[in-house]
Amino acid sequence: MPTKAQEKAINSKKKQVIVTASAGAGKTTTMVDRVIRLIVEDKVPVSSVVMLTFADAAAEEMKARLASSLIERVKKAVGEEKKIIVDALDALPLLHCSTIDSFCYSLVKTHFEFLSLPPTVSLADEETAKSYRKKAMKQTLDEFAAASLYGENADPEEYYRFLTSFGREEDEALAGYIQSLYDYAEMTEDGAAYLQKAKETALAPAEEHPAIKRFVEKIKQSALAAKGEIEKLYFNPPATECRMSAQYKTILDVLTAFSKSASLREVMDKARSVKKPDKILATERRAFPDAFSVWESVDAVYRAWIEEISLSLLTNSYEETVATIAAASKDAVTVVELTQKFKEYYEAVKAEEQALDFSDVEHAALTLLTNDKTVASEIGCKHLMMDESQDLNRLQERLMRAIVGEGDLFIVGDVKQSIFRFRHADPELFGERVKKGGADENAEVISFDANFRSSDAVIDFVNLVFGNLMTEEFGGVDYPKANRDGKTDGSGFVTCFFYPKKDGSEEKDPLLQKVYSVREAAGEARKKDNEYKEAVWVRDRILELVRPGHKTVLRNTKDNAEFTLSYKDIAILSQVGMKQNTVQEKVIECLREAGIPVNVGGFVRDSENADVASIVDFLRLLVSPNDDYALLSVLRSDMFSFTAEQLAEIALRGEGETFAERAVKAAETDAKLKEVFEFIEKYRFLSSSLSLYELVSSLVEERLRSTVLGRTDGRAVMGQILSFVETLKTGKASDSISEYIDYFDNYYKMELEGEIAERDAVNVMTMHKSKGLQFPVVFVIGLGREIVNRAEYQTVVRMDRDFGVCRKGSGEGKDLLFELFTQKKVKELKEDCLRLLYVAFTRAENYLFLSGSVPKDKDLAAEEISPQALKTKKEKALCCSQLVIAGLNGHKEYVTDYDSAAVVDVDAPIFVEEKTDEDAVKRSADLLRAALSYRYPHENATKTGIKFTVTAINAMKDGCLPATKFFPEEEVVKGTAYHAVMENMPFTLQSEEEAGAMLAKFASEGLITAEEAADISVKRLFIGVKKVAELVGDKAIYREKSFILHLPASEAGVADIEDEVEVQGKIDLLAIGKEDAVIVDYKLSAHTREELIETYRAQLTLYALAVQKSFGVTRIRKYIFVLGRNEVIEL
């Protein structure tokens, strides 16, 4: 049964019904019920109803619910009502129910002639539109450069100053800002008008700038408010002269003066006289205790006012401030003018190509609806239902009004759930509509405050946190406390785990604060990693709820029925997707280690593209040339275009047990196959000197671009391929091919037979992805992430709907105008974060778990504070965890310590040691025999050991393969230099710059030549050092550790006697811990992983034996580190 509020919304006859619906309030059901009421009771034709939303899934759900409800109702209906419903079901295909983008595109395609567009007009895909923009941008910037350098008013010095002010002499950064400003403008009703207004605003005097005027007005109003608040305290100063009396009078005089300020000059003149009150002497406090008690409140209000009005921004003189604004505004005007030019050229390119992009579609639809009334009448919208209205931008808001015209408007939204500002959504729009609706007699505002999704425990927690945090001033709405409207509550529980963030003060190798690996996790460093503790905390809470042999029975929040919790009922939410060395990655790895199934389909990108898969399969062949599946995929792909018949012939007629063996044999007589294997060998060699991004880019250009573009779907496919290649530049991609393949298989590529289709698995996704979903158990992790990232503070151009465009000044001191833009942007980001947390928390039905770091230990001991202090605390919050703690406001019952008595022992190693048995001993002896590969020709050996060197055991020179067609002798020489560098490079490097400086030092000291230093990529060297440091952790390090090992000849496998032989060797890198050791052997090689393992397994086993005898450790991990490729191979 609907609630009273829902009934009111379903039956309202007002022209405009505005529903503010909290999470879990049943808004979709209400919208569908209203449509049924219109159809059945008001006899409204289905074709006159338009239902719009933002997601295809939401649109499909609304249609499905409507159809299902009508079918259920027709079963019980009789007479005329039954006929009406049957007709409605027949007409249901005529219902306009879609996303707003789909609706607009359909409109444009149907009425293209009214827009003077050709019938062949198409919607450019992302890659095609990108190529158009690139062409228009080149024309824009080329003309700008030509005019600035060679034109009539050329000023090369000014041109280069302007370019370098964006961070570099190239125009790439400038192009990025032009593109951003263009995109922002296009989300307004009229992009050209916005740009023109922004230009005019920038040209206006500083005192007339809207941001400055708002700043002055804010100071006036806050001074009035502070003065009023102080006067209400009824401070009665002592009759005798004292410090309290004098300062009280000064405070009131200051506030009165500021409340009358009418310009920036006046504010700045008065700002110099503002200072915080002096401390009251103890004698005065004792003499006038009652007055002092009130004075403390006066002092707090005044200090808060000083903090609020940002007087710290007014450090320069008025003249300097105005001059800085004027100079920066000149640059801002240039950026706007370049954007206007870009817009002109971009539209010309699209017209030439007879194409539209996505923003064009909405603008074109608006033009159709406003300029030609026949189009609007043809749609015949009498009732518009708009879902998720909090996510509308200004253009879409105008579109909505144009679609409905004089018809009835029913809109549903919730400012608390507006989380897509980064897509230009404007949450203020819905708030403005709610305010206007409340004063309009033809409108009705209805609030849905009930939450039928979550348990009482979750609702109480959400009410507490957001009741303290969310206000109209900070969040866009005064938080309305939710309830369950008397319905059953279900099982419920909420707990938070917060921990101090690492600040570098710990006595620990600084490199360990930046790197993370599963291998290192087995050691002490992983135990000390606070983010790893968070991952373990999450893992243990899950194992407490779901594990073999244990059942957790909960009561649901719908009807209190019992159900048994399973993995699929659990969701882990995070602000961001999978990134390297983050708590998100650690949580997933920790769950996997514990055997907990994980579905990361909603967390990282899914690749169903066969062409992308074939590229990754090519990489597989560089590592594993005998991989049949990879070889078949590559041969069949557009890289080599073998037909199915050709592959069948190879499989049937070739010699060998596997397809790969048969293909290699067939290549002896088949020129095309021979070319394939030579191509693979060439790229295996290139992989030692090129980054993964460079390697794949070269592959695409050499083997795929021309072939793919020749296909009918070539443009779209090439766009997907290039998007994939781009991820190799900036994403998690490692330069190690084998590591990247592991990443692709585990996180990027979500095959249907893998975890994405797993029915019972923990769901891991971003908070944004979770919108519209709900789970019995929700974990919200990584709350220690900064709300405003560093990149946001590094931008030099800002844009705003109200303020226009601002360019950061280059002078000394504070740039007032830019700081005001920044303050507003930062506030918006914090509000967006607050709303995102609300969405995440309200996904939980029964249990809610929160975890994350806090910047300071004192944050963990937060006590209840005053409203004013709370306001300051939330506005100064740096991360989500600080926001949550501020919202708790001293309610420590929700916060738990790290549970050392966890379900799974935190200190337990992640590996199981092999038991020593006879077979293992035999295998070790066999390995030693293979390592020495030498038998004494004499039965009687001398008692003084015969010497062997480990280097002589293998056929490779100093860690390098013999010269080959693709690995010539000069590469062996380079490898020797690379080897020398790695042997001497410190593991505490923090940047590529430090690595480059160290490389130059080695060259100056003669360790390597200048030419050899020039051949070594600093970036790859730095990555390599980091990877090796990751392997050895914080253990004691020995470089080029020599050893002498005496072994019985029979044990070594060199003779069938017990006489001793002496084996000498040198271990490139040895790391010794308390109970374990790590051996790293450097190699420069073009051979595959399998070939290297086969060749060097015996040698490293011998090394391990020497370490065991010398240091007494039995747990030894052995690695080959392939120089250049930066590939780690564990033996």
DSSP for 1048-1063?
EHHHHTS-SS--EEEE
Contact of 22 with 30, CB cutoff 8 Å: no
911 has a pLDDT exceeding 70: no
Q: How confident is the model at residue 974 (pLDDT cuts 50, 70, 90)?
A: low
| pLDDT at 971 (0 to 100) | 47
Residue 1021 one-letter amino acid: L
* Residue 32 vs residue 1020, higher pLDDT: 32
Contact of 195 with 336, CB cutoff 8 Å: yes
- The count of other CB atoms within 10 Å of the CB of residue 920 is 11
929 has a pLDDT exceeding 50: no
Strand stretches in 817-878, DSSP E: 844-854
Q: How confident is the model at residue 1061 (pLDDT cuts 50, 70, 90)?
A: low
Distances (CA, A) of 484 to 3, 24, 149, 452, 770: 10, 10, 69, 6, 22
The DSSP bridge pattern shows strands 1036-1048 and 844-854 to be unpaired
1069 has a pLDDT exceeding 90: no
How is residue 4 written in tokens?
A: 């009273």
Matching residue, tokens 């395609």: 109
pLDDT tens column, 688-740: 777 788 888 889 888 888 888 777 667 777 777 887 787 776 554 456 787 77
Contact of 92 with 74, CB cutoff 8 Å: no
How much of the chain is in helix, strand and coil states, percent to nearest 5? 55, 15, 30
Mean of pLDDT over the chain: 80
Question: Distance of alpha carbon 841 from its chain centroid, rounded?
Answer: 19
- The candidate with the shortest Cα–Cα distance to 842, out of 750, 775, 930, is 775
- The count of other CB atoms within 10 Å of the CB of residue 182 is 21
CA distance 280 to 297: 13
Q: How confident is the model at residue 859 (pLDDT cuts 50, 70, 90)?
A: low
Longest dimension (CA), the chain: 116
Q: Following DSSP, what letter does each residue of 760-772 receive, concatenated?
A: S-EEEEETTTTTT
CA distance 432 to 420: 18
Contact of 71 with 117, CB cutoff 8 Å: no
- The count of other CB atoms within 10 Å of the CB of residue 510 is 12
Distances (CA, A) of 766 to 168, 635, 751, 782: 34, 37, 20, 11
| pLDDT at 526 (0 to 100) | 53
End-to-end, the C-alpha distance of the chain in Å comes to 65
60 CB contacts (<8 Å, ≥6 apart)?
Answer: none
| pLDDT at 932 (0 to 100) | 37
Q: Alpha-carbon torsion 40, 46, 48, 50, what sign?
A: positive
- Over residues 532-554, the mean pLDDT reads 88
How is residue 1073 written in tokens?
A: 């811990």
Matching residue, tokens 């027949």: 90
| Minimum mean pLDDT range among 172-181, 607-616, 849-858, 1102-1111 | 607-616
938 has a pLDDT exceeding 90: no
- Over residues 50-79, the mean pLDDT reads 87
In the DSSP assignment, the letter for residue 883 is: H
In the DSSP assignment, the letter for residue 579 is: -
How is residue 1007 written in tokens?
A: 């360790």
How is residue 214 written in tokens?
A: 């708002």
| pLDDT at 383 (0 to 100) | 93
How is residue 108 written in tokens?
A: 């444009």
> Please, how many CA atoms are within 13 Å of residue 553, restricted to the half-sphere of its CB?
3
751 has a pLDDT exceeding 50: no
What phi-psi label fits residue 840: left (phi over 0), alpha (psi between -120 and 50 degrees) or beta?
A: alpha
pLDDT tens column, 355-381: 888 888 899 999 998 887 788 888 889
Contact of 229 with 319, CB cutoff 8 Å: no
Q: How confident is the model at residue 836 (pLDDT cuts 50, 70, 90)?
A: very high
Contact of 516 with 536, CB cutoff 8 Å: no
Distances (CA, A) of 867 to 234, 873, 887, 959: 20, 10, 11, 68
Residue 959 one-letter amino acid: G
pLDDT tens column, 668-677: 888 888 999 9
CA distance 837 to 850: 10
902 has a pLDDT exceeding 50: no
* Residue 649 vs residue 545, higher pLDDT: 545
Q: Following DSSP, what letter does each residue of 810-825 receive, concatenated?
A: -SSS--HHHHHHHHHH
Distances (CA, A) of 584 to 215, 531, 602, 855: 40, 9, 13, 18
| Minimum mean pLDDT range among 118-122, 742-746, 758-762, 1003-1007 | 742-746
How is residue 971 written in tokens?
A: 């590469």
| pLDDT at 1032 (0 to 100) | 85
151 has a pLDDT exceeding 50: yes
Distances (CA, A) of 986 to 990, 1026, 1122: 10, 10, 18
| pLDDT at 981 (0 to 100) | 85
Residue 356 pairs in a beta bridge with 123
Contact of 548 with 567, CB cutoff 8 Å: no
| Minimum mean pLDDT range among 64-68, 461-465, 600-604, 763-767 | 600-604
500 has a pLDDT exceeding 50: yes
CA distance 854 to 498: 7
* Residue 228 vs residue 687, higher pLDDT: 228
317 has a pLDDT exceeding 70: yes
Contact of 638 with 795, CB cutoff 8 Å: no
Phi and psi for 764 in degrees, rounded to 5? Answer: -120, 125
Q: What number of residues does the chain have? A: 1131
What's this model's pTM, rounded to 2 decimal places?
0.68
Contact of 34 with 41, CB cutoff 8 Å: no
* Residue 902 vs residue 684, higher pLDDT: 684
Distances (CA, A) of 721 to 641, 680, 692, 1092, 1101: 17, 20, 15, 31, 43
Q: Is 807 helix (H, G, I), strand (E, B) or coil?
A: strand
| Minimum mean pLDDT range among 17-21, 675-679, 853-857 | 853-857
| pLDDT at 812 (0 to 100) | 64
| pLDDT at 1062 (0 to 100) | 60
Residue 1037 pairs in a beta bridge with 1071
The DSSP bridge pattern shows strands 1076-1083 and 383-386 to be unpaired
Q: State the alpha helices, DSSP H only, in 558-601.
A: 583-593
CA distance 561 to 939: 83
Phi and psi for 701 in degrees, rounded to 5? Answer: -65, -40
Q: Which long-range contacts (CB under 8 A, 24 or more apart) does 738-745 make?
A: 738/623, 738/1089, 738/1127, 738/1128, 738/1129, 739/1127, 739/1128, 740/619, 740/692, 741/616, 741/619, 741/620, 741/623, 744/607, 744/616
| pLDDT at 278 (0 to 100) | 83
Counting residues of the chain whose pLDDT is more than 70, the rounded percentage is 83
Contact of 38 with 753, CB cutoff 8 Å: no
| pLDDT at 1046 (0 to 100) | 65
CA distance 310 to 875: 13
194 has a pLDDT exceeding 90: yes
- The count of other CB atoms within 10 Å of the CB of residue 82 is 15
933 has a pLDDT exceeding 50: no
Q: How confident is the model at residue 580 (pLDDT cuts 50, 70, 90)?
A: low
CA distance 727 to 736: 15
Contact of 750 with 601, CB cutoff 8 Å: yes
| pLDDT at 569 (0 to 100) | 93
394 has a pLDDT exceeding 50: yes
515 has a pLDDT exceeding 60: no
Helix pair angle (100-110, 394-404), 10° resolution: 60
The DSSP bridge pattern shows strands 1060-1072 and 1076-1083 to be antiparallel
Residue 718 one-letter amino acid: M
Phi and psi for 205 in degrees, rounded to 5? Answer: -60, 155
| pLDDT at 923 (0 to 100) | 44
| pLDDT at 900 (0 to 100) | 38
Matching residue, tokens 């564990």: 1130
209 has a pLDDT exceeding 90: yes
| pLDDT at 512 (0 to 100) | 34
